[in-house]
């Protein structure tokens, strides 16, 4: 999972306490250590994963428009 430290924080890596997670996005394993840090608000999920979800969801957002066009065509008849 990809995480970033909350603004103003540096969070130690799980197995390398001399290294820290800061403002840069870091890929870490989904261990209880990192999940606890996310739950406490010290770490935040990185945004690029949610951007991919938005791209996947965008075609479903177009479906209501196509339905509106069909109803408009039916109204013309």
Average pLDDT along the chain: 77
User: Domain coordinates of the chain in residue numbers?
Assistant: 2-76
Q: What DSSP element (H or E) covers 44?
A: strand 43-45
Q: Mention every residue, 6+ apart, whose C-beta is less than 8 A from residue 44.
A: 3, 4, 5, 6, 38
Q: Write out pLDDT tens, residues 40-63.
A: 999 999 875 444 444 444 444 555
Look at the pTM and tell me if it is higher than 0.75: no
pLDDT at position 74, please?
57
Q: Write out pLDDT tens, residues 6-37.
A: 999 999 999 998 999 999 999 999 999 999 99
Instruction: Please classify residue 37 by burial: count the beta carbons closer than 10 Å to its beta carbon, then call 0-12 exposed, 13-18 middle and 19+ buried.
Output: buried
Helix residue ranges per DSSP H, the chain: 32-40, 48-76
């Amino acid at each position: 999972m990809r995480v970033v430290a909350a603004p103003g924080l540096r969070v130690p890596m799980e197995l390398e306490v001399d290294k820290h997670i800061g403002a840069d996005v870091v890929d870490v394993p989904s261990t209880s250590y990192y999940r606890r840090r996310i739950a406490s608000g010290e770490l935040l999920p990185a945004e690029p994963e949610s951007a991919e979800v938005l791209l996947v969801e965008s075609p479903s957002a177009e479906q209501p428009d196509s339905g509106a066009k069909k109803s408009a065509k039916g109204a013309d008849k």
